[in-house]
Structure 1
Amino acid sequence: MITLLSAPSNLGLRPPEPGSVPGAAKAPEALREAGLFARFAELGATDSGVVLAGRYVDDDATRPPGRVRNEQATIDHSQRLAARIGTALDRGEAPLVIGGDCAILLGAGLATARRGGVGLVHIDGHTDFRHPGNSDDCASVAGEALAAAVGTHWPAIADIDGLAPYFRAERTAHIGHRFDDEDQEEVRHVLGMLTPAADVISRGAPHVGAESALVAGPAYWLQLDVDVLDPTVMPAVDSPDPGGIGAAELTALLRELAPRAVGASITVFDPDLDPDGRYARLLVEILTEGLSGLGTRVPSP
């Protein structure tokens, strides 16, 4: 059974402008208003409530070196989110976590690592692999979440509760970056599989999904950043880049991957960039059609 869990955190994003606050934390309620929770309830899903994040602070002027933006608040939210995800997993449910920014992947990683670990299929328009070894600009976990999840970041976020790596790199498959992603060559040598958005279109989403599932193993977490969609389809994201996939490809990709996923997280939709709700409604259609089979073919422990 699917259970929906809201994680309205924007802690890992840079401010849109100095002193302002990103809008991604509004995504769970915007998607609820667009019908997401009602549609899943019709499929038998339950609602596991919300894990609220701490206050977002634009701390660029005061943050010391070697720390990410909103670091302690991010750690605290990750731990509390992990506990709630873990409760769902222990009940035999498939948690569908509605974020929020990509930093919520840390909570999913903690929850699964505490239970012996699973693979990871990471669908994102960016590799999210910025880390202290390849950049002097580490600050926003939303652009560094995959690096942290496989143990390649400062221990404060990559080794919460001594559980690093949350996902083993060789059992991690990434899908959806653009060819100009500056970290793709490094990621290609670290992860089990790396597939750009163009290959999803040329080779077919079901084929890419099946190959990625083989890398991630018989059970995995499924992380979706909706900026994998082309900006002509989904402009309401923090960092829209051309060259993404279409709604049909994403739906097919999710449909292929969802059954063997123990749970999934959806991130970076920004309702501030969707004033009339049209993109929220599009996401409801994609997610309902693509994830209705979430967790239905996960092997028994």
Structure 2
Amino acid sequence: MKIAIFGAGAIGGFLGAKLAAAGTDVSLVARGPHLQAMQQRGLILREAGQESVTHPRVAADAAELGVQDYVVVGLKAHSVPAAVPAMAPLIGPNTAVVMAVNGVPWWYFYGLDGPYRDMRVRSIDPDDVQWQVWGPERAIGCVVYPAAEVPEPGVIELLEGDRFTLGEPDGSRSERVTKLSECFIAAGVKAPVRPRIRDEIWVKLWGNLSFNPISALTLATLEDMVRDDGTRAVIRAMMVEAQLVAEKLGVKFPIGVDKRIEGGGAVGAHKTSMLQDLERGRPMEYEALVGAVAELGRIVELPTPIIDTVLALIRLRAKAG
């Protein structure tokens, strides 16, 4: 089994290190100082107070790696469409594309029962590149739960979590998703296969679409947003709007809004990924987390006034830099 991870930052690097340590034929596509550090001294993983070094194959150009069985995409959602041509050398007739990306996935409507079947999510894939070039039949859903960071080039530090939930868009337990799950589990990460992967996507998205932009607008941590009555009310209103949209699309939520909010607050004085990107001058992935939900609201003809308001604010904040 050959696996390439395109975008070996915090999450991709963590997964790559675990797979390499387990002896998997894994390759990482990276760039800049991070790539150079891995080439010179290997990939360092700091986890649970311990440090380990692996030496996966690394490259700046995917053409050096050849066709893979699985390509794990570890980029931010807004970076993926432009990177599709660069991934072409990795894609063969039977290659599966595993989207380890936050937010609404570009393949969301693929094979979905009902009137919205095979519709496109323009805020995620505006020029239809992923759908047309890869084809949605390659997609495997992946909900990423680990929190990690790159404190210095070539070093990955795991903060918490080790679960990558997998699922086929059609809900089947296919041979390819089963093999991938077994490979991940053998590497020491949790990788359950869920028949309703969209449900799990929404449970994570529920928090991301609200906590992330509010934190970037207020510079507040998770616990501070939940403790403050005002921001908690806005977060809750966004989640309620999102739940109505998701349920119109057939999603079933296993927990309630308030329990999801409390779960976010329980993480503590943690800065969301969007706030971290803002502080480091990086592009924020607000379209995948917020814009896409507003778009789905329009598709199912449900109003999302609070989500739309926060989206307008975070878009302007992003322009301000």
The two structures have a TM-score, normalised by structure 1, of 0.30
Structure (1 or 2) with the greater helix fraction: 2
More RCO (CA 8 Å, sep 6+): 1
TM-score, normalised via structure 2 length: 0.29
